[in-house]
Structure 1
């Protein structure tokens, strides 16, 4: 922490130097202003300008350019202007060069005080303490998980409003089997961070397992609140899959786990859910599906033959873009596969497999059935536009590409 405060002091030095800088120039500025006031000749200059303009005005009258009435009017305006420019204005006495010096140190002290107070309120001093605690325990020969938890509990008493304290304690309590403390830490974290889906999902999960995998009213309320904010929240979907599996509804469990897999990046969690899907399929007595990483090798996907209705051929150009897309039946995932081509290539047969996926979290090999959509876009826009032509198939089986014939999709309708 000493190094931190030294760093803060070093950062404050340039600011304090800028505050002191005007004082170093005060004497020079004072002398310049005094000399200016002593040698001010603006009144004489204004009188000289008045005389030149008046002479010009008289010459114009003599030439007949203006009449006497106009001459008198313009001369009156010149005299009024001269009076305004030469009117005596009392100047305030010039203060000494040392006037107001006391304000600068006061401002400097205020800057330092406000900076320190602001950092204590908004800075990461507490997080640095947590890091120091972690490093201290790791470097201690007698360091242990129990010691780390005790040190973090001490910080929880000192920093009850720091969310990083509770986000560190929650998994520690969970891993050591202290479930009531884990729930308390998580609820404290929710009080600070708000009722956001990831935290609500974890609270629902831990209460679900504390209730011996029973979907109690309290757990159900947390599940509903989470899904209302984020229908794709993977932790809650995994929980619902476990509940469906325990109740013997293996197909629903598989569906929940598939949706969860599409939104999980952790490979260990994905592997665990895939194993659950495999067991559920065994319980259903159906042939096991191929894992996604194996699906590419055997070529799981859909072969699609795309054609254009002859009645609509006159509404498109050869250079118009054609999007051939496969989506999950529920429409909850990103597109599983997309192929882009042109009208000039129609009719054509394409293969929709994992190589055409837009995201590794959403691939066609993850589903058993898919919905096909073929759309012609004159503008090339990915989103459908009024006037685009399209055709679709609602439910198409996904399987080995080298088996069976290609399904046919005809572009025969117009987006309204």
Structure 2
């Protein structure tokens, strides 16, 4: 709660600063008014004295001309003095309390209104609720060793987030927090709904699409219903390297007894994971099971297979641990291999066979190609990407039939 207190302190400080600007015109106008009244009074006194002096001068002239006698002169001069004193004592007309105060009564009203409106607007539109959630998250991390306290803070946190998303529906982070909490409670319906709400904000986010597909799969009792298949395919189109989606695609292929396909998906998923992670180990269990099932199945001749009697020419100098890549490509068209394998140079000469088990793109097969060519390359760097200085051999165009095709290659040409 220290951060909330600090935030309130800053808010009060800003309010005090704003109040200065609100009050300044009132004090300034009051001072100006007082200075103005003082100036007016001084000018009035000067005018009165000047008028008295004029009258005195006029009476003296009348006295010197004999128009008035000495007694009349004294009486007129006394009247002028009384008038001077009377004018000096005249005060300005009384004003109403509000007017005489120069509008100062409005100042506290504005300060109170400013304070109340500021806190109201901040509570409605500001980050007060978000700051409270941040404090709850911090408090939860501090209580990680206290199970009971951590659970209490987690319940408070989820309640606060649920209330917040009622007003702030576009916060993906909050929807994700609620979804992960629901997953922890094994409430797949709520989790799936929260992921769906997050997707309304970011409909093309590949991570959210993967999480939504996975939660939908679990919600439908781990079955590939029509809506699950659609969700998985949509997520796969958004990101074909998402390990969650690849895992689901592998499960789908495994359930359809497409074991090679399942292994291919799972191995691709493992490429994005730490080998010590739980997810990696789970995928490996699936791969091992698929491999075991394949080894137990009766041998069947591979259809549309490509058999290559491969060797390295005696004139080529190489290390035994160098890698050899063998790929099947369309004879004309894209250079992307249909299927490929790699093996150490120490195993050559040898006969290698490529089939649909070695396809690189899930869903693709060798049967989709009629005319093919085979490329064998001795890599100088260990990279699957051809490099200048690699040694290779390229077959002539081959017609691929259901019974398969066979060719012989000797690696003897250096790439420029």
TM-score bucket of the superposed structures, by smaller chain: 0.3 to 0.5
- Decide which structure has the larger Cα Rg and report it: 2
TM-score by length of 1: 0.45
